[in-house]
Amino acid sequence: MTDRRSEAVQALTRTLGHAFHDPSLLERALTHPSVGEGAAHDAVGRPILDNQRLEFFGDRVLGLLVAERLMRDFPQANEGEMSSRLHGLVDRSACARVGEAAGVGPALRMSAGESKQGGRRRDGILADAVEAILAAVYFDGGIDAARAVFERLWKAELANPSSRSHSNPKSALQEWSLKVGRGLPAYRVVDRTGSDHAPTFRVEVTISGTDGLTAEGRSRQEAEKAAALALMQREGVI
């Protein structure tokens, strides 16, 4: 680990507020799959473990913690409102903002090529690492430790809940598009990459009178929502 990255990992650990009993869990959570490209083992013969499995588990931990917090904070909210609020707190954009604020990017372990291509600032990579970190904390200290880290990292997101345009962007785009006479938005999947358990979808959204716009997500629905939000931002709707 270079001195610069070592300092970034130490700073991140302080931000998390969790002292790892097993530091290798945090190291794995910060290891991007590009580190193992072309090699099944590292220089001393140990298998290279990236953060994909931890990200898979951390996604579920995050969903549980957000749902738990929403149940407490909004005792009168219906299922639809709760779902919208949950999406605004767990989607890729929210996780990426959390990761950027926490200083995850400089602490990541990735290939030189991925780093040169801006991987340390890429939303998808930051979001995956944040979820992997939550999983690492969970396996190291249990659900209470994960909850404490979640409350600390998501403090700003919880204090500034998304507007309806952000929490339910497809409905907001549809309402605006119909209001200005451009008809219904159309969505299509243009690409699907990644493994079966952690796919990435690229979806294009189009409305009459504008060029199409694409966005990525870990599910088709998430990609559609990201594309709708991006289109509204581009058109100056929000």
| pLDDT over 70 (residue 44) | no
Name the phi and psi angles at 148, rounded to 5: -65, -40
Active-site position among 50, 55, 59, 128: 59
CATH class for the region spanning 3-162:
mainly alpha
Name the phi and psi angles at 57, rounded to 5: -75, -40
Mean of all residue pLDDT scores within the chain:
88
User: Distance (Å, rounded) from C-alpha 197 to C-alpha 194?
Assistant: 8
User: Distance (Å, rounded) from C-alpha 111 to C-alpha 60?
Assistant: 27
The yes/no answer on whether domain 167-234 falls in CATH 3.30.160.20 is yes
The type of residue at 31 is T
Query: Between the ranges 116-120, 156-160, 184-188, where is the mean pLDDT highest?
Result: 184-188
| pLDDT over 90 (residue 77) | no
| pLDDT over 90 (residue 37) | no
User: Distance (Å, rounded) from C-alpha 218 to C-alpha 226?
Assistant: 10
Active site residue 42: no
Which tokens hold the place of 149? 């880290």
Active-site position among 50, 55, 91, 131: 131
- In this prediction, residue 154 carries a pLDDT of 96
Active site residue 59: yes
| pLDDT over 70 (residue 162) | no
Q: Could you identify the residue written with the tokens 């500034």?
A: 160
| pLDDT over 80 (residue 165) | no
Q: Could you identify the residue written with the tokens 């530091």?
A: 23
| pLDDT over 60 (residue 42) | no
| pLDDT over 70 (residue 136) | yes
Domain boundaries, the chain: 3-162, 167-234
> DSSP per residue over 155-202, as a string?
HHHHHSPPPHHHHSHHHHHHHHHHHTT----EEEEEEEEE-SSSEEEE
Which tokens hold the place of 34? 């590009």
- In this prediction, residue 79 carries a pLDDT of 78
At 190-221, the pLDDT tens digits run 999 887 777 889 999 999 988 899 988 888 98
Q: In angstroms, how far is CA 182 from the centroid of its own chain?
A: 31
At 49-70, the pLDDT tens digits run 899 999 999 999 999 999 999 9
Question: 105 versus 238: which is more confidently predicted?
Answer: 105
